[in-house]
Structure 1
């Protein structure tokens, strides 16, 4: 009798990814046991969390926009069944049950745990420097439109038909009815849209994402998220005396942020902003060799954002609420790491 594994080519790119995914999931048995116990006590219909995570990864890797489409493809796609761990004759889940089970992963921080286990695999293979990082943020369009952005006190004209010309609207006085966690925000030359902000911290050795988080969109979110993420990275370094550096673009060149980095014993390799002002980054730092390297390496972070929006679902998320958006963003960055790690594993040294 033939198995599903027999139908998957030996050199298929998903094979190496599946090995790394299985290694990460195997370390999460204790967490999964607690989730099973909670489901039994609550009498809820349950999907095995490890299969749920594999299915969610497929949705990201293959740019599948909806859970209904994912369930439909899993019904007939042998590659999907093999990756998830379903047999040929196993029933596929109902989309609504699949959606409810995603919420269970949030309640148990399972996606964060999975992200960390994937990162540990990278660390064990010496793909991380652990000392030199880059940070940046990106805008995420919310699954909510302008017509949902109405006055908090209910004074909006019900017959306005969505014509807001001449009206003053702000996050202080208005909120979205469909996604109250989103915020009306614009950056640079972009139009004002209901958005979130996604933030990543990458390791400079190979551009792998070592931390990811979503915040509400405002003018301070990028620097506040950067401080939180680099503090976690600083705490994880083996030696308190190790030099930790952080590369970033000109938007992070603010005196308060640079001072915070110095207090954390992090060297600010932030691009100097001298447009009509004095940079908060000292010239002796900006003239160092390490600074120049960080400025080149920090551009790797854009590859993660580009992948997350072109292949992944982050350009405009189809979930609502900051917890669900954060879950999707973190899992997308875990998927991005897996793709990069697969490539790193295939690299062979050139002959002497």
Structure 2
């Protein structure tokens, strides 16, 4: 016989305990056993007034943000709505069934002021990395570096050419992203006046204005590549340990190759300073093969397992620099025809040396049609070419091949970021917002990985991962 529920008067009293309805193997329970936020109140106390109405608990806001990034909830408004109805999320945030959920608007001020001023999000990220190190998931011997383009939260039609003058609104009338851009612009001009070289705020020398500037988020970079529809973007930079794919440092930055190199140096130094870890090898793609970074790594006894950035090959089939033999003792190049190319003594950009053949040698050489269409053949050589040669030699080793295979782990982290955590487009604007999102996403990925590797539930019974 078919059963049917009859409309009955609800109970007057309920016996309900939130802790009992969250399954022992739920991800929030596993992560809660790993997460340590006891330091937050003490560290953030100087950033709150000692008078007035009590604020929303910063630990509550951090836990709510982590819920959003761990479970790919891409809106703070939506985070509040999900925690309102999801008992597991309420339990993780230490909220009772009848507790009121904070309004989504409270996150803006906390993020723009207190969290950034105290660098709380980086502290949380580094705390999780420290747990990964303590759990033996970080080898500290081999690292990999990579950057991934993430679209900025802008309408790309609202832009102007970078060399076009534009009257930006006053600070009090501008958005947070525009104000941040204007402050960075003023700082860059001040550095140029005092002999500085930073137009990007992160170590990248800007020799010409950007091609396009967004009116919504001016710090976003216009990216135009063959086969792709141009868009405005930022970079998410990850430095990972190859042992278990743990992200040991993360940073959001402008999408620029020079900036990527500067960020790499910053992250390697920060990991050494914070965790006393210096890798023996660093793997990366060709974007990290600039001689400036290679020399920086070699000077620190870090083997660069990176393809050398070399554009000396010629597409027209004429002799490239590799066809010439360099005599280190005599500081000359010898061409395929046996003629010598001597240094002109000119140094370009502080590190490029020119070598030139004599007019007589080139005019009577039978190989000239295969060498150059100019009067004489010239070759450039970097002052640190010996470093490039050492790195090229590493490419033939088994260790290099191993690093190349393990470097896929950093690409997997980016694939997880975009496909599972849905960070294929930034939600926050401005470079500070991008840095916050990259740190929160990396923290979420490390927490998920830590829970997966340390809190596996036996098939026979469910157990709670210890704190």
Distance 1:6 1:227, change over 3 A: same
Distance 1:107 1:43, change over 3 A: farther
Alignment partner of 1:181: what SS? Answer: coil
Distance 1:180 1:105, change over 3 A: same
* Aligned residue pairs, count: 329
Contact 2:28 2:89 in 1 (8 A): no
Between the aligned partners of 1:215 and 1:74, the Cα distance in structure 2 is 31
Residue number in structure 2 paired with 1:225: 263
Residue number in structure 2 paired with 1:89: 98
Residue number in structure 2 paired with 1:296: 405
Identify the match of residue 232 of structure 2 among 184, 194, 213: 194
- Structure 2's unaligned 5+ residue stretches are 1-14, 168-207, 314-321, 323-387, 459-467
Residue number in structure 1 paired with 2:123: 113
Contact 1:195 1:217 in 2 (8 A): yes
Identify the match of residue 315 of structure 1 among 424, 428, 431: 424
Distance 1:267 1:348, change over 3 A: farther
Between the aligned partners of 1:187 and 1:262, the Cα distance in structure 2 is 32
Between the aligned partners of 2:452 and 2:251, the Cα distance in structure 1 is 24
TM superposition shift of 1:322: 0.6
CA RMSD of aligned residues (A): 2.7
TM superposition shift of 1:141: 0.7
Alignment partner of 1:271: what SS? Answer: coil
- Structure 1's unaligned 5+ residue stretches are 156-169
Identify the match of residue 25 of structure 1 among 32, 37, 44: 37
For residues 43-122 of structure 1, the aligned pairs below 5 Å read 43=52, 46-103=55-112, 104-122=114-132
TM superposition shift of 1:232: 2.7
Contact 1:253 1:280 in 2 (8 A): no
TM superposition shift of 1:136: 0.2
Residue number in structure 1 paired with 2:435: 326
Contact 1:202 1:211 in 2 (8 A): yes
Contact 2:130 2:275 in 1 (8 A): no
Between the aligned partners of 2:275 and 2:77, the Cα distance in structure 1 is 43
Alignment partner of 1:294: what SS? Answer: helix
Identify the match of residue 144 of structure 1 among 154, 162, 174: 154
Task: Answer 1 or 2: which has greater helix percent.
Answer: 1
TM superposition shift of 1:171: 5.2
The reply on whether 1:11 has 2:57 as its aligned counterpart is no
Alpha-carbon deviations, 1:76-125, whole Å to 9, x = none? 21111111111111111111123222222122111000001001101111
Between the aligned partners of 1:93 and 1:295, the Cα distance in structure 2 is 47
Larger radius of gyration: 2
